[in-house]
Amino acid sequence: MTANIEIYDAHVHYLWRDSLTASCARFLTLREKGLRGMALIIMGHHLSEPKKCFDFIPHSYHDMIGQHLFSNSSSMDLPVNHHFDGIETFPYLDSRYITESEADLSRFRQAGFRGLKLLYVPDEDKLYGMVGWKKLFNQSQESYEAVTLHMIKQAVEFDWPVIFHADLRLHEEFVRSVLKTYPKHPFIFPHFGFSRKIMARLIEQSSNCYTDFSSLLPFMQKSPDNYKNFIEAYQDRVLFGSDATTDWPDLISQYIETVKKMIPDEVILEKLFRDNYLNIHQNRG
């Protein structure tokens, strides 16, 4: 049965280096592995200067992204159906470059976006090589919190699920206040929130709190039992996610194989690969 299971990736970036057509063609090989849908994170708004754009993207992704994507200030269009034939896409707005002057999200809703992706990194992140929002825009912490909360409020009004990248070791209280303010709205904290311990605490305290293991593949392979125990304990709140780009289908394949080896229970696998994703993304936006 495992070989026939449907798979939905909750964390894929719509980014490529050279050719979108070639990128999508390589990606479609994943249909044979069971991929049926994905949350596609799209930079519907970006800065006009490529260098400034790359300042707020982890260094490890720079070689996989063509600077031509940021060669002008126009929005990146959503993919058309034939780009990912047979794979359903759920478009999330990557809001990392949005400031107060662009924070009315209604135009993105009209363009077809159905979810909000927040990259909450106020200060420089030396590990991942990002300057941080405050330095990028020369604005205050208060301004960053205000525009973030404003976008979250709109996402709730639009019935958009929210992917909320935040280091819980630094921002647990801010995240906790958001979960408390919108207790019935789904928030997905990728990368296990950079702390399984805090993530577990939030999951246990907030029924609207979800997570995914995107970007954690090396750690999962190194300590499979620790991650297996966490996933099994919170099997109704964990989504399959890779953090791949549309140029990087091999990463999704590696995640699929690793998870299948790590989790022998097919009921839990179905939740990770399909059910938890569909519970959040069906009939929304």
What is the full per-residue pLDDT of the chain (285 aa) written as tens digits?
566 899 999 999 999 999 888 888 888 889 999 999 999 999 999 998 999 999 999 999 999 999 888 886 555 788 876 789 889 999 999 999 999 999 999 999 999 999 999 999 999 999 999 999 999 999 999 999 999 999 999 999 999 999 999 999 999 999 999 999 999 999 999 999 999 999 999 999 999 999 999 999 999 999 999 999 999 999 999 999 999 999 999 999 999 999 999 999 999 999 999 999 999 999 876
User: Pairing mode, if any, of strands 115-120 and 7-13?
Assistant: unpaired
The 10 Å Cβ neighbour count of residue 33 is 15
Which token pair is 185?
């709205």
Q: Which helix (H) or strand (E) holds 93?
A: strand 88-94
**Cα separation, 63 vs 205, whole angstroms:** 40
Q: Which residues contact 142 (CB under 8 A, 6 or more apart)?
A: none
**Cα separation, 282 vs 285, whole angstroms:** 9
Q: Are 100 and 143 in contact (CB under 8 A)?
A: yes
pLDDT of 260: 97
Which token pair is 33?
């592995």
Which token pair is 93?
């707005």
- Residue 53 has phi, psi (to 5 degrees) of -60, -45
pLDDT of 3: 65
Residue ranges of domains in the chain: 2-281
Q: Which residue is listed with tokens 């363009």?
A: 111
Q: Which residue is listed with tokens 């953090």?
A: 243
Which token pair is 13?
């970036």
pTM of the full predicted structure? 0.96
Superfamily of domain 2-281: Metal-dependent hydrolases (3.20.20.140)
**Cα separation, 113 vs 285, whole angstroms:** 8
